[in-house]
Structure 1
Amino acid sequence: MTEESKQNSLKKKSMKAVMWSGGEVIARQGIRLIVSVFLARLLTPEEFGTVALLYIFADIAHAFIDSGFSSALGQRQDITHTDESTVYWFSIGMAVICASLLWAASPYIADFYGLDVLAPLIAIMGLNIVVMSLGSVHHPLLTKQLKLKKITIITASSLFISGCAAVWFASAGFGVWALALQQLTESVVSTAMLWMLSGWRPGIVFSIASLRRLFGFGGFLMLTSFLDIAYNRAYALIVGKVYGVGDLGFYNRADNARQIPMQALWIFLSRVAFPIFSAAAGDIERIRRGMQYSIRGVMFINIPIMLGLMVTSEPVIVLIYGDQWISAAPLLQILCLGGILMPLHLINLNAIKAIGHSKVFFRAELVKKLIGTGMLVFGLRYGILGLAWSQVAYSIMGFLVNAYFSGRYFNYGPLQQILDFLPALLLSAIMACTVFAMGKYWHNSFIPLLSLQVVVGGVLFVMLCQVFRLEAYTEVRTMLAHGFAKK
């Protein structure tokens, strides 16, 4: 097979996966957005902030339960059913241990924050962790096989059912419990459907040899997960303790608004880029070209969305969450700047993981977190806005570190990557300045303003892409046309 035919094969495989992953992402983010619109009008910032405190404990537990094995199952091509079953039983055992530790620690955590309601909420979270572990192997196997149609059905169903339940609980006066029960309901439905649709069943077998072999790759990913969680969730612990759960609620909702579009790309890259890069693990040149293709396409979408969201933060916050959340708008503006480069982190790190360099992956994260901790401490001196600015600085620094390793292994370093997305950045900046100017001279209702800004911004950006013949625009348009033609 020639180099050109290999590259075309990689692109065709990517396109099919992108279409289904795109459908799953649209369903996921669309349902979450609609549910957020209702819940933000039924619950208070303090209630959202209270639940946000629990995320770090849940994430640490999930890192222990996974221990990097889901990535190992996805990366290795020589996985046996014994390996899969061993990981499954290990995950359940770790889930029970983590849940028990959380239940035992819940009174002390509640006392630390002076919130009695945290203790029973942590108990619910522990139950949720155990339920999720029951589908811990099914999901990565579906992802590895690129069976994203089934993942789309599972995601849409679980989010819709849990979202309806949360709105009902909130309207019935359950308060913060509506958010906790939403997560539990989502896990129950998702796990049940994974069992029904995946076809995979664990064997009654447990192999220490399998565990050791997979841990050789996954162990460093587990350590990386701990570093990532400790840094990314540290703000919740700090803000909740120093500034109170009310301010944490504002920060959480601002970050949530940014995550609505950003997580869509994040999920796509996790489910599509890593399996495809892993399939090409023996061909560095194919991975490099795949990275270029991914960066041009993903940044072409992400940059205008982040800049557009930044300059329309006030109407977006009011429209999604209501007037009582307007204090989250300045935070959203700052966080969107940091969100511009976020897809690059996952593309670079997925490429490094795909060639089996989990140690390098860990070292890169260790360097970033050490520097980022200093940024976080410095930012806290300037309040919650300073904390948000520290996230922007961390995003820039993190990109440079990740891209350095890509330059080392794939000859695709920071400068080459910047040059690949720079045209999209410049055209997006022109669009954002135009949209921002519209907002400065509009003094009527937010809803017509936002509608006009979205239309004008979108049309202007597409026109600029056509006039300047942006390569990424042509590639994305071709990909979408190919995807719809296949249907």
Structure 2
Amino acid sequence: MKDLKKKTLTGLGWSSAGNLVGQAMQFVVSIILARLLMPEDFGLMAMVLVFTSLAQVFMNFGFGSALIQDKNAAQEDFSTIFYLNVAIGIVLFIITFLISDLVAQFYETEIISKILRILSVTFIISSFGIIPNIILTKEIDFNKVVKVDITANFLSGLVAIILAYLDYGVYSLVAQSIMASLLRTTFIFFASRWTPSLVFEVASVKKYLNFSSNILFINIISKTLDEMDTILIGKFYPAASLGIFNRAKTLRKYPLQIIGGGINKVMYPSLAKIQDDDERLVKYYSALIHILSFLVIPVMFTLVIIAEPLILLILTEKWIEVVPIFQILCLVGFMISIGGINSNIFLTKGKSRFLLKFETVKRILFSLIILASLRFGLKGMATAIALATTLSFLANLHFPGKLIGFKFYRQLKIISFYLVIAIFSSSVALLYQFRLNEMNLLFQILIPSIQILIFYVFLVYFFKLKGFVLIMENLILPTIKKLELKKS
């Protein structure tokens, strides 16, 4: 148990640090690109990425989760799935190349066909890196994964910036995607020090097929319905409108990925090792909800308050339409981060079939709500997404928690404490915001942020909420001790 805790905390440290550096770097790159490119360029890329990201789901086929969940996965299992992934990658490349004209016709935008054909090569490239990445994930060896991600993202981002500066437009984003795939696959393959054996066992495929097929359908449904807003806006609105909406979603994504992304990467392989002990699972998830609530909720509410000066400072006036959409999406941002971890309970307990049904019903309802909002413009769609996210969040608390005896009201009670404190802290900052209108944009961002931080941390400490204690005991204090030991 101590070894698992040490491995998990180490993995969590590396994964969180990697997310922080990686997302911060991607954020800087995206800001530079947003200044160099037009909303239309991002809109065109968003249309294409809907289809490429859906195709990427087929690449793994759900075998990754199955291999992580299987405590006894052997070399022949990994090798067999490796060759299967490569074969799927080649098939996806051919299919995507052939249907590119149909996709362009759907969007009524001719250039989409050319972009999609160029990007289809990433299916073959990335197929070689899936199993090496799974092996490192299964071993909770996020040190190597983090270094690979940061290096690949930095170099591919640099290429995109140079091309954007040279007026290559949307093709600078295309080049970024291809370079990121190529570099990450190359680096992860060497970092894993794994080579496939010359073996293909049909029995290995059959062994994981039942579990993985459920995961595949879950991922297909999730990805398709998650991108329903992008598909609909791309179809019925100009590319520039999709660029605006996509930029709002992307900006919200960065803090969620920095905070929650690292935790999610580590938790599934860690919890898979204690899948038969419900008491420990409840303890782990309770701690996770405390930590995520403590970190994510105040960040999201702070972004709502400082949205306008933030957008004007980093993206300039041409992206001002992002502000109201960004604010609406941030209001429910914490629900994505907190509710998302509960889906891991189904996978941890091997309940992939139930997860398939759960996600199918939830995502269909989600899509219907978004579809009904289509005629109300971008703000209307953002509001509909916020409503659907709230309903999805409540379902994510109830059903997975029921599986391990972690009652709905207990989870909601934990989250509510942090939510009330964040709302109060943000309201105090909002009362003073009108006095800052004549100030520099940077001060309009910093002053409310500092006000919220001070009020929030003080109140959380005053009420002795567990999230603050957990972070202090497991992260901040051990780090300080290590630094003191190094000095001595």
TM (norm. structure 1) is: 0.96
Residue 472 of structure 1 is matched in structure 2 by: 467
Report Cα offsets for 1:19-53 as digits up to 9, x if no partner. 11111101211111110121011000000000000
Distance verdict in 2 for CA 1:262–1:464, change over 3 Å = same
Give the AA of the match of 2:138.
K
Q: What is the CA-CA distance between 1:486 and the residue it aligns to?
A: 4.9
Counterpart pick for 1:101 among 86, 95, 102: 95
What does 1:14-25 correspond to in 2, within 5 Å? Answer: 14-25=8-19
Report the 3-state secondary structure (helix = DSSP H, G, I; strand = E; otherwise coil) of the residue aligned with 2:167: coil
Please state if 1:404 is matched with 2:381: no
Please state if 1:427 is matched with 2:408: no
Distance in structure 1 (CA, Å) of the matches to 2:218 and 2:279: 26
Residue 338 of structure 1 is matched in structure 2 by: 332
* Aligned 8 A contact 1:19 1:483 in 2: no
What does 1:82-231 correspond to in 2, within 5 Å? Answer: 82-231=76-225
Distance in structure 2 (CA, Å) of the matches to 1:483 and 1:352: 32
Q: What is the CA-CA distance between 1:457 and the residue it aligns to?
A: 1.9
TM (norm. structure 2) is: 0.95
Q: What is the CA-CA distance between 1:264 and the residue it aligns to?
A: 2.1
Report the 3-state secondary structure (helix = DSSP H, G, I; strand = E; otherwise coil) of the residue aligned with 1:412: coil
* Aligned 8 A contact 1:312 1:436 in 2: no
Give the AA of the match of 2:465.
L
* Aligned 8 A contact 2:43 2:234 in 1: yes
Give the AA of the match of 2:461.
Q
* Aligned 8 A contact 1:221 1:358 in 2: yes
* Aligned 8 A contact 2:222 2:363 in 1: yes
Counterpart pick for 1:235 among 229, 253, 263: 229
Residue 481 of structure 1 is matched in structure 2 by: 476
Please state if 1:34 is matched with 2:17: no
* Aligned 8 A contact 1:406 1:413 in 2: no
Give the AA of the match of 1:316.
L
Residue 323 of structure 1 is matched in structure 2 by: 317
Give the AA of the match of 1:477.
M
Report the 3-state secondary structure (helix = DSSP H, G, I; strand = E; otherwise coil) of the residue aligned with 2:360: helix
Aligned residues: percent identity?
26
Report the 3-state secondary structure (helix = DSSP H, G, I; strand = E; otherwise coil) of the residue aligned with 2:314: helix
* Aligned 8 A contact 1:364 1:402 in 2: no
Give the AA of the match of 2:468.
Y
RMSD value, Cα = 1.5
Distance in structure 2 (CA, Å) of the matches to 1:11 and 1:309: 33
Distance in structure 2 (CA, Å) of the matches to 1:280 and 1:274: 10
Q: Which region of structure 1 is more displaced relative to structure 2, 12-21 or 127-136? A: 12-21
Report Cα offsets for 1:275-326 as digits up to 9, x if no partner. 1110111111111111101110011101001111112111221222221101
Report the 3-state secondary structure (helix = DSSP H, G, I; strand = E; otherwise coil) of the residue aligned with 1:312: helix
Please state if 1:436 is matched with 2:430: yes
Q: What is the CA-CA distance between 1:155 and the residue it aligns to?
A: 0.9
Distance in structure 2 (CA, Å) of the matches to 1:70 and 1:486: 35
Q: Which runs of 5+ in 1 are unaligned?
A: 1-5
Residue 376 of structure 2 is matched in structure 1 by: 382
Residue 486 of structure 2 is matched in structure 1 by: none
Residue 449 of structure 1 is matched in structure 2 by: 444
Distance in structure 2 (CA, Å) of the matches to 1:404 and 1:367: 15
Distance in structure 1 (CA, Å) of the matches to 2:414 and 2:65: 28
Q: What is the CA-CA distance between 1:128 and the residue it aligns to?
A: 1.3
Distance in structure 1 (CA, Å) of the matches to 2:155 and 2:329: 30
Report the 3-state secondary structure (helix = DSSP H, G, I; strand = E; otherwise coil) of the residue aligned with 2:109: coil
Residue 3 of structure 1 is matched in structure 2 by: none
* Aligned 8 A contact 2:55 2:92 in 1: yes
Distance in structure 2 (CA, Å) of the matches to 1:253 and 1:352: 32
Q: What is the CA-CA distance between 1:270 and the residue it aligns to?
A: 2.7
Q: What is the CA-CA distance between 1:414 and the residue it aligns to?
A: 2.2
Distance in structure 2 (CA, Å) of the matches to 1:426 and 1:374: 31
Residue 74 of structure 1 is matched in structure 2 by: 68
* Aligned 8 A contact 1:154 1:193 in 2: yes
Distance in structure 1 (CA, Å) of the matches to 2:222 and 2:478: 35
Q: What is the CA-CA distance between 1:482 and the residue it aligns to?
A: 4.9
Report the 3-state secondary structure (helix = DSSP H, G, I; strand = E; otherwise coil) of the residue aligned with 2:373: helix
